[in-house]
Structure 1
């Protein structure tokens, strides 16, 4: 009888140990989006682009995952802590105003979503400032624009890229060819594919690991045999709006100046 009890207890300890190891094991997916493609399909505005410098990809997020067998999974909403941008230092706010913006939607709402869904699950239990700073610095460390430029790949509306061409500079930077995956947006009228998002995968120690999930997120699709890396520009609708607004403001000031001149003279 004692032997059976010992065997049972031993089994429970093994199960508990395995569960503990599973909980401690993390990986990360770091996602960035190319504004040139995103803003081709969305109406991006200067307000939502923040201080974006046109020399990087925009951060989508850093997503902790405990399901180590696949990079498709993630954990979410791990603790109840509402995002409060007043908790960020000036340095962190300055950093993410360049690296992490909403592009076509409210930036504060976007960052709030990423923090509350993913940042609260970071295994180091980072503060809001710690998490946002970490992700902002990752954008600098893994600057996809510079990685591609190192191989002579720059935004170009006429150049078609293949998987081999696009993957090579990431392989050189990350050390393995399987540490990144990417998805596109497709122009339904032309059938052309435009690179939209690249995800790089890391172990808990932030070493490159296989990024084995090719499932595209909502609005994105698997890229064709060739695709484009287009130049970035704000939507024509927005540019027209700004020009019209400038003309309207100029007219208001001109009328005001004329009235003042009439009163004085």
Structure 2
């Protein structure tokens, strides 16, 4: 699948299509698509592997976060204003709260409240004019307009996105971790972030806010808990457990287990399962 990158903090594009020329794709940056004219559907992949279809019309603004697979389907000739910006741009020029709000609520067509809708319409007209005419000092004005649009989007997001989206995403994330607890290569923060259409920076904050624990620590403790269960509930050797759990070698698992439990894996097995296992098993 095609993934597009952005090599500048902000990019503004005017486009019009009878049929949108690109199918499913994703970006490494945020994108706002303001509908200047036309009707169609904005389709986004959800965290559970499904799709959500949002009908759009003139004056709608669709927000796409980094790594979200999406596409546009036109029903009539459509004109778009695309405002694209990096995560660092939001943090540097607005604040971290704005980045979090955009990341967690993105993937929807925002319909602005009455007063803000009028303001957005005026700002969009100003952006289109500056992009089209390219007068002196346009870049400074465009930055001001873009920042204002982002702030208004953040203010209106909570009324546009489903309230249960955060809870669902958190639960799907836990389910994903449980399903792949034996595959450490799939439990790296950047991999999990991409799976759930979040930036790695935000994914770490999202996890800690929802579960009260650092992501990396949670993964390590969860994997060790699985090792504990295997030590007590199976007769697998330490080498077999190490291989099954994807550790680099038994020595690394031994060292990690000792660090957390102040006893070796075999000592833990003997302490918790001495009656049920044959003498000398697991060596």
Same fold (TM over 0.5): no
- Larger RCO (alpha carbons 8 Å, 6+ apart): 1
Give the TM-score normalised by structure 2.
0.27
Write 1 or 2 for the structure with the bigger share of helix.
Answer: 2
Give the TM-score normalised by structure 1.
0.28
